[in-house]
């Protein structure tokens, strides 16, 4: 960081360095303040989430996007996730597997459209490159997502590790997955590995969804659009995209036959 500051001062001048330093400190201060607020509000948020009912999917999504200053805000485009949730609401999946927990927003939404006695498993790599790696203090909040009659599992591990796959198989105990959501490692090799490792767990008639199928900056979408372009040709598929010019996001759905 010091070397970078010296480089900016040398190439762009002290004034530019001061301006950039101010913006950096401002952003970091805001992040620290927001995290402190989230820690304070967490017990209230957990109680609220446990006891709340929703009259519509739109109301459910608005709650996740707007309450608690982004504590469980999904990393999604509102219209896209609503359409996916409507599909899932009709299917009422009994076994849900999510690769990539991150902020927990989509996981919360999935608990509310899955079957009331569903088994939900979410895998996340601590310190993941593409927004993954939630802190320990969020675990009680995420556990509050599940309905009392649902079975809920948080796995903090590398989805590409064979031991993680075995742990999931042990939880499933012979059950097949109804809905697999892949939103973890966004590198081409990473998303391909997640698909190849976990798609065999999905039952015939089940669905597999990918997030970030729309081309965009590499740091946001990685190799997901490329892999989606390859894999979709082999399945009956559907694309949920608000705009192909949005530079990322977008949900692709494969039907397993």
Strand, coil or helix: 11? helix
Banded pLDDT at 39 (limits 50, 70, 90): confident
Q: What is the mean pLDDT of the chain?
A: 89
Res 231 pLDDT > 60: yes
The whole-number pLDDT of residue 29 equals 56
Cβ 77 vs Cβ 246: under 8 Å: yes
> Which tokens belong to 103?
């902020």
Banded pLDDT at 16 (limits 50, 70, 90): very low
Neighbours of 171 (CB within 10 A): 15
CA distance linking residue 247 with residue 126, whole number of Å: 26
This prediction's pTM: 0.87
Q: Phi and psi dihedrals of 204, rounded to 5?
A: -65, 130
Banded pLDDT at 11 (limits 50, 70, 90): low
> Which tokens belong to 181?
């959501």
Res 9 pLDDT > 50: no
Predicted confidence (pLDDT) per residue in 58-80, tens digit: 999 999 999 998 999 999 999 99
Predicted confidence (pLDDT) per residue in 77-113, tens digit: 999 999 999 999 999 999 999 999 988 999 999 999 9
Burial of 3 (0-12, 13-18, 19+ CB in 10 A): exposed
> Which tokens belong to 45?
């948020």
Looking up tokens 């012979």 gives 174
- CA-closest candidate to residue 198, choices 222, 179, 220, 173: 179
Q: Phi and psi dihedrals of 246, rounded to 5?
A: -85, -5
């Amino acid at each position: 960081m010091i070397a970078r500051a010296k480089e900016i001062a040398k190439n762009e001048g002290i004034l530019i360095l001061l301006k950039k330093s101010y913006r950096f400190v401002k952003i970091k201060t805001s992040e620290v303040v927001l995290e402190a607020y989230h820690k304070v509000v967490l017990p209230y948020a957990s109680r609220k989430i446990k006891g709340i009912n929703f009259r519509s999917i739109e109301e459910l999504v608005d709650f996740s996007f707007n309450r608690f200053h982004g504590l469980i805000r999904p990393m999604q485009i509102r219209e896209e996730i609503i359409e996916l949730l409507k599909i899932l609401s009709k299917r009422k999946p009994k076994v849900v597997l999510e690769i990539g927990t991150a902020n927990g927003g989509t996981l919360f939404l999935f608990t509310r459209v899955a079957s009331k006695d569903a088994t939900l498993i979410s895998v996340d790599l601590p310190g993941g490159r593409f927004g993954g790696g939630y802190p320990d203090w969020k675990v009680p909040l995420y556990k509050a997502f599940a309905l009392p009659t649902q079975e809920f599992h948080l796995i903090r591990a590398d989805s590409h590790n064979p031991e993680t796959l075995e742990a999931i198989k042990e939880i499933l105990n012979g059950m097949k997955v109804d809905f697999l959501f892949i939103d973890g490692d966004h590198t081409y090799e990473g998303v391909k590995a997640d698909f190849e490792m976990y798609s065999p767990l999905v039952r015939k008639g089940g669905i597999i969804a990918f997030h970030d199928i729309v081309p965009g900056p590499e740091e946001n979408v990685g190799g997901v659009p490329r892999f989606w372009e390859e894999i979709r040709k082999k399945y009956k598929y559907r694309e949920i995209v608000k705009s192909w010019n949005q530079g990322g996001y977008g949900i692709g759905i494969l039907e397993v036959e």
